[in-house]
Structure 1
Amino acid sequence: MSKLTRQNYPYYLLLPGLLVFLCFFAYPSVSGFYYAFVNWDGLQIRGFTGWENFRNLIDRDDFGLVFYNTFLFTFVTTFCKIVLGLLLAVLANMTLKSARLLRSVLFMPVMLSYVAVGLVFSAIYDPDNGLLNQLLAWAGLGGWTQSWLTNEHLVMYSISAVEIWKTAGFCMMLFLAGLQTIPNEWYEAAKIDGAGAMGRFRYITLPALRPVLQINVILTLISGLKVFDLVYTMTGGGPAGASEIISTVIYDSFAKGYYGEGTAANLLLFVIILIVIALTHKLITKRGEGV
């Protein structure tokens, strides 16, 4: 019987990956705290401006709308993706002959490019020739047809629906992994005690999925706050700024050469994400301890 040997690798083999991380991730992140307070054109710094970049953001006419749209998109998509992902996970966890095929089909939208999805749904949402309005008219619901991407009251909900369709499968897979770790003996014991399907779901499934729920909520909140490519592809922030979000403001600031302002907006987004995630973690942990 051969002995298992443990080979020790020298730590300097980590240096290439560490250098890449420091140069392209750590340094840009840390330097952003400095560049947010200066006036720079991307090549040279023209002076320290203090809080002026942040004041310029706050003085924007659409400042309130930008934050409203960002948080609206984040919380609508987070709630719907969590609920839909959990329902799909329960469905995919059932003993079916086509279970693997079902899981693959439900997860497939996650693998698609955001740009491709945005372009396809822009065509689907077209008010004149789009598939959605044509289906509504064919079903006798012509009164429900809308200008989905040019109506300022509907545009964020229309984009949110696309995000939910595309990424609910990711939440489903995380929940599905959690469901498969729950011992069947727990459910069998609950059945013997007379617990119904809803009782087993409430008192066994949900508590057992709390760690997965926390991960899912945090990841979906972060992706919602950072969303850019889907919004930019579908509307570019329009109509008339009705779908502007923090990420599109950052993009526009850099595109116009306002690098300090763009960095300040990026830093502000970073702080918002930290606060939201910290509050979410504290809330979920506190409720978990109370159960």
Structure 2
Amino acid sequence: MKTNYTYGMLLPGLIIYLAIFVAPSFGSFYYAFTNWNGFQASTFIGWDNFKDLLDVDNISLVLKNTFIFTIMTTTLKIALGLGLALLVNQQLRFATFLRSVFFFPAILSTVAVALAFSAIYHPSAGLLNEFLRMLHLDRLTQSWITDPHLVMYSISFVEIWQFTGLHMAIFLAGLQSIPKDSYESVTIEGASGWEKLLYITIPQMLPNIKANLFLSLIGGLKVFAIVFALTQGGPGGASQVIGTIVYKNFGHGQYGAATAANLVLFLLIIVIVGILNLVISRKEVEV
């Protein structure tokens, strides 16, 4: 009786989840092969949406930008997040305060952050260039978000600044779960701090590394908000990513084409995450 009562309580939530998330997700597999515009009846057109996606102007640049953003932000957020976690895990006087400071940007609105960095990156009156001029480093001043060669790196830095603290928090949870006995035994044997990190800390934190890696990879491949809020894909389409292509198609009423682009993104995420999951899972078993 108790088991039936428990499952009965779960049923309403399950129905809502199936209706709002699962059914539309499976429906998108069909609409990706249609010319649906949201008003008229959809017509099956086969692979045309996917062929049109390949014909999008600078599609190679769109994919390049998406991967640059994903690789750069994932690498630095994990490296810096781990470094900050190791720092604030020490017996520091202001450790709790530092944790709050580092985590704070993650709770800010992405749009608010983008507006702030739009002012910071301004080529003539921006805080960053003004700071460089104050240090007599005028040669380093740049058009940070209007230079096609720099814009994706500038956007990536904003993402890194905002969410490194989130990854720090996940790493910190893993660090605090490692038994102190593990360190005491190797300390007696004369292990250095680097050896402790390499052979004790990192192997026992593989689940946390895995969570951070997947969180950052999926977020990077799906990036849209920070790009759109900062540059709207400009200048001249130099910062377009897959997410902005999806948005553009939806904005033009081309729902079938937008769904096709979203489906490509979904499959891309599944393949990349699936391969990495197999690799990391093998490492976890070895440990």
**TM-score, reference length from structure 1:** 0.95
Moved more, 15-24 or 182-191: 15-24
Paired AA for residue 196 in structure 1: S
State the match for 2:112 in structure 1.
Answer: 116
Corresponding residue pairs, total: 286
Q: What is the identity percentage for the equivalent residue pairs of Structure 1 and Structure 2?
A: 50
Question: Deviation at 1:257?
Answer: 1.2
Q: Does 1:259 align with 2:252?
A: no
Matched residue SS, 2:96: helix
Q: Does residue 1:168 correspond to 2:164, yes or no?
A: yes
What letter matches 1:92 in structure 2?
V
Distance 1:10 1:101 in 2: 42
Q: Give per-residue Cα distances to partners, 1:194-228, cap 9 Å, x unaligned.
A: 11111111111111111111111011100101111
Q: CA deviation at 1:46?
A: 3.8
Structure 2 residue identity aligned to 1:52: D
Matched, 1:71 2:67: yes
Distance 1:286 1:16 in 2: 38
Q: What is the CA–CA distance in structure 2 between the aligned matches of 1:45 and 1:104, rounded to whole Å? A: 52
**Residue 74 of structure 1: how far off its partner (Å):** 0.3
Matches within 5 A, 1:243-258: 243-258=239-254
Corresponding residue of 1:231: 227
Alpha-carbon distance in structure 1 between the residues aligned to 2:214 and 2:101: 25
Q: Does 1:219 align with 2:208?
A: no
Structure 1 window deviating more from structure 2 (235-244 vs 6-15): it is 6-15
Greater CA drift, 9-18 or 142-151: 9-18
Q: Which residue of 2 aligns with 1:107?
A: 103
Bigger shift: residues 83-92 or 17-26: 17-26
> Deviation of residue 21 (structure 1)?
1.1
Superposed CA deviations along residues 210-260 of structure 1, whole A, max 9, x for unmatched, are: 111111101110010111110000000001110000000000001011111
Residue identity matched to 1:143: R
Match of 2:88 among 92, 95, 100: 92
Q: Is the 8 A contact 1:174 1:216 kept in 2?
A: yes
Mapping 1:32-51, distance limit 5 Å: 32-51=28-47
Inter-partner Cα distance in structure 2 for 1:10 and 1:284: 35
TM-score (norm 2): 0.96
Q: Identify which of 9, 26, 32 aligns with 1:30.
A: 26
